[in-house]
Amino acid sequence: MGLTRVVLGVLALVTLCVPLGSLVVDAVMEKIDGGGLINLGNRERTWTPYMSLSHLLSEIESITSYFSFRTFDPEGALFYGDTDNGEDWFVLFLRDGVPEMQIGKGDVLVSVAGGHKLNDGLWHKLELHSEGKFVVLKVDDHRELAMGLHSHEPDTSKEGYIRLALGGILVSEKKLLLPLNPLLDGCVKGGRWLNLSTLWDSTPRKTAMSCFPNIKAGSFFAGTGLAIFNTSDLPGVDPKEERIIITVNTSSTTLNGTILSLRSLQSHSTVLSVAKDTNSGMMIFKVNTETTPINEKFDEDLISFNVIIHKTSVAFETKNVSSESHLRSGDYSSILAAWNEGMLLAFGGVPEDGLDSGSDYMEGCLDTIFIQGQKIDLDQASFKDASVSSHSCPV
Ligand SMILES: *[C@@H]1O[C@H](CO)[C@@H](O)[C@H](O)[C@H]1NC(C)=O
Ligand SMILES: *[C@@H]1O[C@H](CO)[C@@H](O)[C@H](O)[C@H]1NC(C)=O
Ligand SMILES: *[C@@H]1O[C@H](CO)[C@@H](O)[C@H](O)[C@H]1NC(C)=O
Ligand SMILES: *[C@@H]1O[C@H](CO)[C@@H](O)[C@H](O)[C@H]1NC(C)=O
Ligand SMILES: *[C@@H]1O[C@H](CO)[C@@H](O)[C@H](O)[C@H]1NC(C)=O
């Protein structure tokens, strides 16, 4: 019957709690209603859940948790529950948009994944309940996944505390069967967690970010932070074409600030940047310190531009215009080699030395970013400010 406790733990999934026994008193903790509209994203990239609670197991009466959930993000931790201080644990998360559940108990690790992709930006009703030795996940009232685990170990259930967490896990991420990018840009509402009415503990965000009422896919920059990639982690130079193509599409007509910038790690100088000024409606292509205003009205619904990086020159082009500039000779024998070795490519601003801040931040939505034809996910950035929503833009 060892599973029962795990299942109960799972069901309690609504909140992340530190068991009272080992509760670290944190004066900055906030109390949150688990039934409200909850934004799990816009936090530092971390395994720490957004919110948690712990409750006496003996007082748990319901074996069901349910909630509505909305995201465009393909990957992240949703709901976690454990007993025995993490000895028995359960987690529900998304990978490639598909729900996946894992149970860890002693040396045994069980994982099951399947069903429809849930990252379509629509609200879905999720329900978790236990049926004997099984944990069952229902999506929009259909049974989607069931996972069973039976252990011969004696069960000391109904003792101690159950902990619940949202948006992260309370055991080491090394316990997971496969690595996971934990931060989920998603929202939860109408949650009923093991029928508990307890308030959850939450670490307040630096900046309060609520859920956008309506969303579309894209990356939203609030104008207070950026995302930075090490180019050695990005698609590399095509040996035949000998160039890098970065394509950005945006439908934000009010977009203002620096959209992207490329910076050398050695000289700390900005090699190129693309900005938009909303007052003039002009795009500004800056190479080294030379500024080239792009003489084109960008007031169409969708702006799409390419930045093309050649060995010693860079170009900006849209359907109608193109502007090419040579890099200062001597700076780079080949900027493409520097790209492969590692430069800083930032979206939403110009990075500063600390690598976690910048200037000339952008406000607006980038619908899609492609590098060498590959779609870029801001969750893979080396640094992403908490104000950047990697997978959702307000509409
Ligand atoms: C849930 O809790 C409410 C009171 O908080 C109670 O009336 C109801 O019977 C409980 N439901 C279950 C299934 O335990
Ligand atoms: C983005 O722009 C590229 C190049 O113009 C285009 O091929 C692609 O379809 C666009 N993607 C979206 C989602 O609009
Ligand atoms: C656009 O950005 C520039 C500098 O980045 C700033 O001076 C200007 O006020 C911004 N305009 C709007 C409309 O936000
Ligand atoms: C590109 O040029 C065409 C034909 O001159 C024009 O109709 C269109 O509006 C231009 N597009 C942009 C983005 O300026
Ligand atoms: C970028 O990646 C390269 C190669 O992996 C590494 O040497 C360099 O330290 C990285 N730079 C930063 C700022 O992370």
Percent over 90 (pLDDT), the chain: 64
CB 321 near ligand 4, within 6 Å: no
List strand residue ranges (DSSP E) for 256-321, in order. 257-263, 270-277, 282-287, 290-294, 303-309, 313-317
Distance CA 139, CA 145 (A): 9
- Among the residue ranges 40-44, 279-283, 359-363, the one predicted with the least confidence is 279-283
**Residues 6+ away with beta carbon under 8 Å from 143:** 136, 137
Mean pLDDT for the stretch of residues 95-111: 93
Phi and psi at residue 125, to the nearest 5°: -95, 125
Distance CA 245, CA 360 (A): 23
User: Among positive and negative, which fits the CA dihedral 226, 229, 230, 231?
Assistant: negative
- Give the position of tokens 């795009």: 283
Q: Are 94 and 101 in contact (CB under 8 A)?
A: no
Residues of the chain with CATH 2.60.120.200: 3-211, 217-394
Closest-lying ligand 1 atom to the alpha carbon of residue 197: 5
Q: Does pLDDT of 24 surpass 70?
A: no
CB 256 near ligand 3, within 6 Å: yes
Q: Does pLDDT of 14 surpass 80?
A: no
Q: Are 52 and 170 in contact (CB under 8 A)?
A: yes
131: its two tokens: 């049926």
According to DSSP, the residues that pair with 228 across neighbouring strands are 346, 383
The CATH architecture that domain 217-394 belongs to is Sandwich (2.60)
Q: CA angle, corner 233, sides to 229 and 235, nearest 5?
A: 105
Mean pLDDT for the stretch of residues 7-22: 37
The CATH architecture that domain 3-211 belongs to is Sandwich (2.60)
Q: pLDDT (tens digit, 9 = 90+) per residue, 349-377?
A: 999 877 788 899 999 999 999 999 999 99
Distance CA 99, CA 144 (A): 9
Q: pLDDT (tens digit, 9 = 90+) per residue, 157-172?
A: 668 999 999 999 999 9
Pocket test for ligand 2, best of 251, 304, 369 (most atoms within 8 A of CB): 304
